[in-house]
Amino acid sequence: MSAEPASATWILSIDQGTTNTKALLVGRDGQPAFRTSVPVSTTSPHPAWMEQDAMELWASILTVIKECAAWATAQHTSIAGLAISNQRETVVAWERATGIPVAPAILWQCRRTEMLCEKMRRLGHEPLLRKRTGLGIDPLFSASKMRWLLDETSGLRARAEAGEICLGTVDSWLIWKLTDGAVHACDMSNASRTQLLNLHTTDWDDGLLKLFAVPRSALPEVLPSSAHFGVCSGTSPLTGTPIVSAMGDSHAAMVGHASFHPGTVKATYGTGSSLMTLLPHAPATPRSGVATTIAWGVNGATSRCAQYALEGNISMTGAGVQWVGEFLGLPDPAQDAAALAATVNDNDGVYFVPAMAGLAAPHWDSRARGTIAGLTSRSRAPHLARAAVEAVAFQVKDVFDAMEAEAGCTLPMLFADGGATRNDWLMQFQADLLGRPVVRSGCEDLSALGTAWFGGLTLGWWQSLSELTNIRQETQSFVPRMSEQERKRRCTEWNAAVARARLVEIPR
């Protein structure tokens, strides 16, 4: 347990995401008291490429830290620890000596490694990867991005093998910068999304490192999600503050729902979406289009205590609504598209499959392409906007069904979080499609809240996961109202649109 002054009231919890960096100050009651956010940008230098400036991400961190610290000081309090949740699979490479990035960060959405992934499939590597990592072969995951950087950046491989270069996910980049280069570490949940971690040993796998040609010396140390990750240094006003947790954003949201038992499933609605449900046992090789992952690790009797989970990732949910808003020329694309969608009562038979860069779970079809189906002379912009928002719910249902099949049990409800969940009619439509209640979190920053709670475990504010379940939660439930006949009709029409997007012949 860390020593802390009596006035140290807060955990400063940062959620570094694809489009913004958010921060909360969370108190000993487990509730957020202050929130701030700054936007971050992405670039696309070539079709299907997505990048970010790692130094812009770092600048956004400094901004939210200063705002949170100023608020705490004004309250005559201080910060006991720093917690991190982050966008996953994004890869950063930087110089060990200077901390300067050597290339743009390759975003999780980026598809530049598709040819490399296809080659690995042809060579028959997918069964091994599924067995050891729980993940299929796809450009989403970090390993192929690291391989690409080492192969395509002049001199980088030799420098990495000489120990001059650090590679990591966003959590490891932030920990390095926060500790002024003293610590190169990441947590189990982020490591499990790289395709280099062996799920069974919870450490980097020598065979996988050789397969992707990534030197172990460039990678961070893997720690539990609730652990000491070093002490902030040179980051005024947090100098001397311990970093007490780190988690991938989807995993942290699961914690924020206080969902610690198998049989519950949550969906985080963001730029993309992630569904996750805990496993009661060690992982097996998944068969239904979902992945096995490490939900989190909690520091305990053994430092390698991992909780396993099933997960399904969707590449474009909020991003699909954003795209339609841009396509329609709306001033605030995502918000205006959602508002436009609400002006009509149905989609008038229009379906939009946002497969502009292929489809992720449960299809994992990189050849699929974005498709608008069902257009007639009556179709108007609001119908397309409606189809874009409905596509969020349809894609979540596809993964929910696959996850239920893999789990081998009925999943009785869906816990929901993320920005899009503020849309009441989307949540109602989601419940209607699933035929199950949807329980919406009252906290819009659940990833930041979840990693703050794990930070509290490290600090000794709480002693166990069961204590976290007693923290008051604000929720709202949406119960199904759609008839079974209507649900089947809508899902049949959606499946036909997906078949077109996948260039699959539609059965007659």
Convert the pLDDT of each residue in 477-507 to its tens digit: 999 999 999 999 999 999 999 999 998 655 5
pLDDT at 6 over 60: no
Query: pLDDT confidence of 284, banded at 50, 70, 90?
Result: low
Q: Measured in whole angstroms, how far is the alpha carbon of residue 125 from the centre of its chain? A: 25
Residue type (1 letter), 194? T
Assign 304 a pLDDT band (cuts: 50, 70, 90): low
Contact partners, residue 133, CB within 8 Å, separation at least 6: 192, 195, 196, 197, 198, 199, 205, 208
At 4 the pLDDT is 47
Give yes or no for residue 300 having a pLDDT over 60.
no
* 169-186 confidence digits (pLDDT tens): 999 999 999 999 999 999
Greatest C-alpha distance within the chain: 71
Cβ contacts of 192 within 8 Å, gap of 6 or more? 133, 134, 199, 293, 294
Chain segment 215-233, per-residue pLDDT in tens: 999 999 999 999 999 999 9
For the chain, the structural domain boundaries read 9-250, 258-441+474-508
Fold match between domain 9-250 and domain 258-441+474-508 = yes
What pLDDT band is residue 431 in, cutting at 50, 70 and 90? very high
Average pLDDT, stretch 333-351? 94
Q: What is the pLDDT of residue 409?
A: 77
Tokens standing for 197?
């971690």
Distance CA 386, CA 429 (A): 11
Strands (E), 6-137: 8-16, 20-26, 32-39, 51-52, 78-86, 92-95, 105-106
In this prediction, residue 508 has a pLDDT band, given cuts at 50, 70 and 90, of low
Specify the CATH architecture of the domain 258-441+474-508: 2-Layer Sandwich (3.30)
Collapse the DSSP code of 155 into the 3-class scheme (helix H, G, I; strand E, B; otherwise coil) and give the result.
Answer: coil
CA 50 to CA 105: how far, in whole Å? 9
* pLDDT at position 177: 96
Domain 9-250 CATH assignment equals 3.30.420.40: yes
E strands in 315-390: 351-353, 371-373
| Secondary-structure percent of the chain, ordered helix, strand, coil, rounded to 5 | 35, 25, 40
**32-41, 44-53, 282-291: segment of lowest average pLDDT:** 282-291
SS3 106: strand
